[in-house]
Amino acid sequence: MSAVPSAGARRVGIFGGAFDPPHLAHVALAQAATAQLALDALHIIPTGQAWHKTRTLSAPEHRLAMARLAFAGLDRVVVDDREIRRAGPSFTIDTLEALQAENPGAQLYLVIGNDQFAALKTWHRWQAILEIAIICIANRAGSTSTGAGFDPENLAGHGVLTLQLPLMPVSATDIRRQISSGSAGPPGWTPLVPEPVARYIERHHLYISP
Protein backbone atom coordinates (compact mmCIF):
# COMPACT_ATOMS: atom_id res chain seq x y z
CA MET A 1 0.00 0.00 0.00
CA SER A 2 1.29 3.47 -0.81
CA ALA A 3 0.94 6.73 1.09
CA VAL A 4 0.64 8.65 -2.18
CA PRO A 5 -2.96 9.84 -2.47
CA SER A 6 -4.95 9.05 -5.58
CA ALA A 7 -6.95 11.88 -7.08
CA GLY A 8 -10.44 12.16 -5.68
CA ALA A 9 -9.85 9.63 -2.89
CA ARG A 10 -11.77 10.14 0.33
CA ARG A 11 -9.52 11.81 2.88
CA VAL A 12 -9.75 10.40 6.39
CA GLY A 13 -7.79 11.81 9.33
CA ILE A 14 -6.95 10.10 12.61
CA PHE A 15 -6.07 12.07 15.71
CA GLY A 16 -5.43 9.90 18.75
CA GLY A 17 -4.53 10.82 22.28
CA ALA A 18 -5.15 10.18 25.92
CA PHE A 19 -7.24 13.38 26.05
CA ASP A 20 -6.81 13.38 29.82
CA PRO A 21 -8.16 16.05 29.61
CA PRO A 22 -8.66 17.37 26.07
CA HIS A 23 -7.44 20.98 25.88
CA LEU A 24 -7.50 23.94 23.52
CA ALA A 25 -4.40 22.88 21.58
CA HIS A 26 -6.12 19.57 20.75
CA VAL A 27 -9.14 21.45 19.44
CA ALA A 28 -7.02 23.90 17.45
CA LEU A 29 -5.04 21.02 15.99
CA ALA A 30 -8.21 19.19 14.94
CA GLN A 31 -9.55 22.33 13.25
CA ALA A 32 -6.24 23.04 11.50
CA ALA A 33 -5.92 19.46 10.26
CA THR A 34 -9.47 19.28 8.96
CA ALA A 35 -9.08 22.55 7.05
CA GLN A 36 -5.50 22.22 5.80
CA LEU A 37 -5.82 18.59 4.72
CA ALA A 38 -9.33 19.12 3.29
CA LEU A 39 -10.45 16.07 5.24
CA ASP A 40 -13.79 14.42 4.63
CA ALA A 41 -13.66 13.09 8.18
CA LEU A 42 -11.37 13.39 11.17
CA HIS A 43 -11.62 10.57 13.72
CA ILE A 44 -10.72 11.67 17.23
CA ILE A 45 -9.64 8.49 18.98
CA PRO A 46 -9.20 8.46 22.75
CA THR A 47 -6.70 5.76 23.49
CA GLY A 48 -7.64 2.66 25.43
CA GLN A 49 -4.78 1.06 27.29
CA ALA A 50 -1.95 3.29 26.02
CA TRP A 51 1.12 1.07 25.89
CA HIS A 52 3.47 4.09 25.82
CA LYS A 53 2.08 6.10 28.76
CA THR A 54 3.58 5.17 32.10
CA ARG A 55 0.95 6.71 34.35
CA THR A 56 -2.54 5.30 34.83
CA LEU A 57 -4.98 7.23 32.72
CA SER A 58 -8.32 8.50 33.99
CA ALA A 59 -11.28 6.21 33.41
CA PRO A 60 -12.01 5.81 29.71
CA GLU A 61 -15.63 6.88 30.26
CA HIS A 62 -14.47 10.27 31.55
CA ARG A 63 -11.94 10.80 28.76
CA LEU A 64 -14.51 9.83 26.14
CA ALA A 65 -17.15 12.11 27.62
CA MET A 66 -14.70 15.02 27.76
CA ALA A 67 -13.58 14.38 24.17
CA ARG A 68 -17.22 14.46 23.06
CA LEU A 69 -17.68 17.80 24.81
CA ALA A 70 -14.40 19.27 23.54
CA PHE A 71 -14.88 18.39 19.88
CA ALA A 72 -18.67 18.77 19.70
CA GLY A 73 -19.83 20.86 16.82
CA LEU A 74 -16.58 20.73 14.84
CA ASP A 75 -17.43 20.14 11.21
CA ARG A 76 -16.42 16.71 9.87
CA VAL A 77 -14.98 15.68 13.24
CA VAL A 78 -16.21 12.48 14.88
CA VAL A 79 -15.23 11.12 18.29
CA ASP A 80 -14.54 7.44 17.75
CA ASP A 81 -14.48 5.11 20.77
CA ARG A 82 -13.02 2.04 19.04
CA GLU A 83 -9.75 1.99 21.00
CA ILE A 84 -11.59 2.30 24.28
CA ARG A 85 -13.84 -0.62 23.31
CA ARG A 86 -10.88 -2.74 22.15
CA ALA A 87 -9.44 -5.18 24.68
CA GLY A 88 -5.69 -5.09 25.21
CA PRO A 89 -3.19 -2.43 24.21
CA SER A 90 -4.11 0.31 21.74
CA PHE A 91 -1.87 0.13 18.70
CA THR A 92 -2.25 2.89 16.13
CA ILE A 93 -1.54 0.52 13.24
CA ASP A 94 -4.56 -1.63 14.19
CA THR A 95 -6.78 1.44 14.10
CA LEU A 96 -5.34 2.58 10.77
CA GLU A 97 -5.87 -0.84 9.22
CA ALA A 98 -9.44 -0.96 10.47
CA LEU A 99 -10.18 2.50 9.06
CA GLN A 100 -8.56 1.57 5.76
CA ALA A 101 -10.80 -1.50 5.55
CA GLU A 102 -13.88 0.62 6.32
CA ASN A 103 -12.91 3.25 3.74
CA PRO A 104 -11.61 1.35 0.73
CA GLY A 105 -9.42 3.53 -1.48
CA ALA A 106 -9.30 6.35 1.07
CA GLN A 107 -6.12 8.25 1.87
CA LEU A 108 -5.40 8.17 5.60
CA TYR A 109 -3.75 11.06 7.46
CA LEU A 110 -2.28 10.51 10.92
CA VAL A 111 -2.21 13.74 12.91
CA ILE A 112 0.38 13.91 15.71
CA GLY A 113 2.39 16.43 17.69
CA ASN A 114 6.12 16.50 17.11
CA ASP A 115 6.78 14.99 20.56
CA GLN A 116 4.92 11.89 19.37
CA PHE A 117 6.62 11.94 15.98
CA ALA A 118 9.99 11.97 17.75
CA ALA A 119 9.06 8.62 19.29
CA LEU A 120 7.49 7.10 16.18
CA LYS A 121 10.21 4.51 15.71
CA THR A 122 9.25 2.98 19.07
CA TRP A 123 5.67 2.42 17.90
CA HIS A 124 4.38 -1.05 17.08
CA ARG A 125 4.92 -1.70 13.32
CA TRP A 126 5.98 1.89 12.66
CA GLN A 127 7.09 1.09 9.11
CA ALA A 128 3.57 -0.12 8.34
CA ILE A 129 2.22 3.16 9.72
CA LEU A 130 4.39 5.08 7.26
CA GLU A 131 3.15 2.88 4.45
CA ILE A 132 -0.52 3.27 5.18
CA ALA A 133 -0.83 6.93 6.23
CA ILE A 134 0.54 10.37 5.57
CA ILE A 135 1.97 11.67 8.85
CA CYS A 136 0.88 15.22 9.63
CA ILE A 137 3.00 16.82 12.31
CA ALA A 138 2.06 19.75 14.53
CA ASN A 139 4.95 21.63 16.07
CA ARG A 140 4.72 21.76 19.81
CA ALA A 141 6.24 24.32 22.14
CA GLY A 142 9.25 22.87 23.91
CA SER A 143 9.70 19.81 21.69
CA THR A 144 11.18 18.99 18.32
CA SER A 145 11.15 16.10 15.90
CA THR A 146 14.91 15.84 15.91
CA GLY A 147 14.93 12.71 18.08
CA ALA A 148 12.83 10.92 15.50
CA GLY A 149 15.88 9.32 13.94
CA PHE A 150 14.70 9.96 10.42
CA ASP A 151 16.77 11.74 7.88
CA PRO A 152 15.12 13.23 4.82
CA GLU A 153 16.30 10.29 2.71
CA ASN A 154 14.58 7.77 5.00
CA LEU A 155 11.39 9.65 4.49
CA ALA A 156 11.70 10.04 0.74
CA GLY A 157 8.72 8.33 -0.83
CA HIS A 158 6.77 8.47 2.43
CA GLY A 159 4.28 11.19 3.14
CA VAL A 160 5.25 13.41 6.04
CA LEU A 161 4.04 16.97 6.25
CA THR A 162 3.88 19.77 8.78
CA LEU A 163 0.63 21.46 9.76
CA GLN A 164 0.52 25.22 10.10
CA LEU A 165 -0.46 25.98 13.66
CA PRO A 166 0.69 28.63 16.12
CA LEU A 167 2.70 27.14 18.99
CA MET A 168 0.40 26.57 21.96
CA PRO A 169 2.27 25.94 25.20
CA VAL A 170 -0.43 23.80 26.82
CA SER A 171 -0.30 20.19 27.95
CA ALA A 172 -2.67 17.88 29.79
CA THR A 173 0.10 17.18 32.30
CA ASP A 174 0.30 20.84 33.18
CA ILE A 175 -3.47 21.13 33.54
CA ARG A 176 -3.66 18.07 35.82
CA ARG A 177 -0.80 19.47 37.89
CA GLN A 178 -2.47 22.85 38.26
CA ILE A 179 -5.73 21.24 39.39
CA SER A 180 -4.14 18.86 41.88
CA SER A 181 -1.91 21.51 43.41
CA GLY A 182 -4.68 24.08 43.52
CA SER A 183 -1.86 26.54 43.08
CA ALA A 184 -3.05 28.62 40.16
CA GLY A 185 -5.14 31.59 41.20
CA PRO A 186 -8.24 32.56 39.26
CA PRO A 187 -8.92 31.91 36.44
CA GLY A 188 -6.27 29.18 36.82
CA TRP A 189 -6.41 26.27 34.40
CA THR A 190 -9.97 26.74 33.16
CA PRO A 191 -9.14 28.88 30.08
CA LEU A 192 -6.88 26.05 28.86
CA VAL A 193 -9.79 23.71 28.13
CA PRO A 194 -13.13 24.18 26.36
CA GLU A 195 -15.69 25.51 28.83
CA PRO A 196 -17.91 22.37 28.91
CA VAL A 197 -14.78 20.32 29.68
CA ALA A 198 -13.93 22.61 32.61
CA ARG A 199 -17.45 22.13 33.97
CA TYR A 200 -17.19 18.35 33.53
CA ILE A 201 -13.86 18.24 35.38
CA GLU A 202 -15.30 20.23 38.26
CA ARG A 203 -18.53 18.24 38.42
CA HIS A 204 -16.67 14.93 38.56
CA HIS A 205 -13.85 16.18 40.81
CA LEU A 206 -11.23 14.97 38.36
CA TYR A 207 -7.49 15.45 38.90
CA ILE A 208 -7.88 16.56 42.51
CA SER A 209 -5.32 14.04 43.70
CA PRO A 210 -2.01 13.89 41.82
From the list 3, 12, 20, 58, which residue makes contact with ligand ATP (rule: CB under 6 A)? 20
Contact call for residue 173 and ligand ATP (CB under 6 A): yes
Contact call for residue 27 and ligand ATP (CB under 6 A): no
Contact call for residue 44 and ligand ATP (CB under 6 A): no
Instruction: Say how far apart CA 116 and CA 17 lie, in whole Å.
Output: 10
Contact call for residue 206 and ligand ATP (CB under 6 A): no
Q: How many CA atoms lie within 13 A of 195 on its CB side?
A: 0
Instruction: Considering only the stretches 6-14, 25-33, 128-136, 186-194, report the one whose residues sit in contact with ligand ATP under the rule CB under 6 A.
Output: 25-33
Q: How many CA atoms lie within 13 A of 84 on its CB side?
A: 20
Instruction: Say how far apart CA 83 and CA 163 lie, in whole Å.
Output: 25
Instruction: Say how far apart CA 191 and CA 203 lie, in whole Å.
Output: 16
Contact call for residue 17 and ligand ATP (CB under 6 A): yes
In the complex with ligand ATP, which residue's Cβ is closer, 19 or 150?
19
Contact call for residue 95 and ligand ATP (CB under 6 A): no
Instruction: Considering only the stretches 12-20, 83-91, 94-102, 125-133, report the one whose residues sit in contact with ligand ATP under the rule CB under 6 A.
Output: 12-20
Instruction: Say how far apart CA 66 and CA 206 lie, in whole Å.
Output: 11
Instruction: Say how far apart CA 105 and CA 6 lie, in whole Å.
Output: 8
Look up residue 37 and give its DSSP letter.
T
Four-point Cα dihedral 78, 85, 113, 39, nearest 10: -30
Contact call for residue 168 and ligand ATP (CB under 6 A): yes
In the complex with ligand ATP, which residue's Cβ is closer, 11 or 140?
140
From the list 12, 27, 29, 148, which residue makes contact with ligand ATP (rule: CB under 6 A)? 29
Name the minimum Å distance from CB 39 to ligand ATP.
16
Burial class of residue 68 (count of CB atoms within 10 Å of its CB; 0-12, 13-18, 19+):
middle
From the list 3, 33, 64, 112, which residue makes contact with ligand ATP (rule: CB under 6 A)? 112
In the complex with ligand ATP, which residue's Cβ is closer, 9 or 28?
28
Angle value at C-alpha 63, between 58 and 64, nearest 5 degrees: 145
State the residues that interact with ligand ATP by CB under 6 A. 17-20, 25-26, 29, 112-113, 115-116, 138, 140, 168, 170-173
